[in-house]
């Protein structure tokens, strides 16, 4: 077609439109927001570990919302890939930055470098786990290894619950890094349990210091119970819907 024709101009306009136009669903918007919150949590870690922990928990809530939207409105072909990429930012890099920030406030020299190494291992384990999840576990109703969302939630809840000793936080991060790449099966949370955990999580974000840190401590207890007991005692029921 002639370069100056109307059809030619329309073709060029189509070429400069965003590549994602018409390809992303409602759930994908939440997924991208989750990734952006992961970046915000990393920045917040440099200012306040407690603030970073709250942003990280907010990202986990948005991650749950994207699952609800995907089940309600359907997903897109790029959805599973976006989800894993977003989780790298929010539940691999952001928790590692939180861990490093807690250590940096008290440690210097070799001790801090050891904390950075643990954070790097946390990111590496999370990335491997997410890759295996995308390849093998999507749609199975269960997954192998501690989910990255759960690992990030546990670290954030621990910090908000008052666990600020860097040795405890770094040690906890090392345990979670190893747990993410185990073969232990974790069933999807049933709807009822996911709603209860989501409500407690929201309260932990909104009022972390209320009632003697009740909400982050309750969230930590709930998440820790699932992480430790889930593979053996959590019955597969209706699953997440």
Q: pLDDT per position in the chain (241 positions), as tens?
A: 455 566 666 655 566 777 766 678 888 999 999 999 999 999 999 999 999 999 999 999 999 998 888 888 877 788 888 999 999 999 999 999 999 999 999 999 999 999 999 999 999 999 999 999 888 877 676 889 999 999 999 999 999 999 999 999 999 999 999 999 999 999 888 878 888 999 999 999 999 999 999 999 999 999 999 999 999 887 654 433 3
Q: How far apart are CA 179 and CA 186, in angstroms?
A: 11
Torsion sign (Cα): 104, 108, 109, 115: negative
**81: three-class secondary structure by DSSP:** helix
Which residue in 153, 137, 144, 134 sits closest to 83, CA to CA? 134
Domains of the chain, start order: 24-233 (1.20.120)
pLDDT in the model for residue 15? 64
pLDDT in the model for residue 143? 87
pLDDT in the model for residue 238? 41
pLDDT in the model for residue 179? 98
Q: How many residues does the chain have?
A: 241
pLDDT in the model for residue 14? 62
Bridge partners of 42, per DSSP, are none
**187: three-class secondary structure by DSSP:** strand
Q: How far is CA 77 from CA 35, 72, 73, 82, in A?
A: 18, 16, 13, 10
Q: How far apart are CA 99 and CA 219, in angstroms?
A: 18
Q: What are the strands, taking DSSP E only, across 38-99?
A: none
């Amino acid at each position: 077609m002639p370069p100056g024709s109307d059809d030619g101009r329309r073709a060029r306009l189509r070429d400069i439109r965003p590549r994602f136009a018409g390809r992303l669903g409602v759930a994908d918007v939440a997924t991208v927001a989750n990734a952006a919150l992961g970046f915000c949590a990393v920045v917040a870690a440099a200012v306040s570990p407690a603030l970073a922990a709250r942003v990280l928990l907010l990202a986990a809530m948005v991650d749950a919302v994207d699952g609800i939207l995907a089940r309600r409105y359907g997903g897109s072909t790029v959805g599973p890939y976006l989800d894993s990429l977003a989780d790298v930012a929010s539940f691999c890099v952001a928790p590692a930055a939180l861990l490093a920030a807690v250590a940096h406030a008290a440690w210097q020299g070799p001790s801090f470098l050891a904390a950075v190494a643990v954070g790097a291992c946390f990111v590496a384990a999370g990335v491997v786990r997410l890759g295996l999840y995308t390849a093998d576990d999507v749609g199975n109703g269960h997954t192998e290894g501690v989910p990255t969302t759960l690992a990030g939630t546990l670290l954030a809840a621990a910090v908000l619950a008052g666990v600020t000793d860097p040795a405890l936080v770094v040690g906890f991060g090392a345990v979670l890094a190893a747990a993410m790449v185990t073969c232990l099966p974790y069933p999807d949370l049933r709807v009822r349990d996911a709603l209860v955990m989501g409500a407690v999580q929201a309260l932990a974000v909104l009022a972390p210091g209320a009632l003697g840190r009740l909400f982050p401590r309750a969230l930590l207890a709930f998440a820790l119970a699932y992480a430790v007991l889930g593979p053996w005692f959590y019955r597969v029921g209706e699953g997440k819907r």
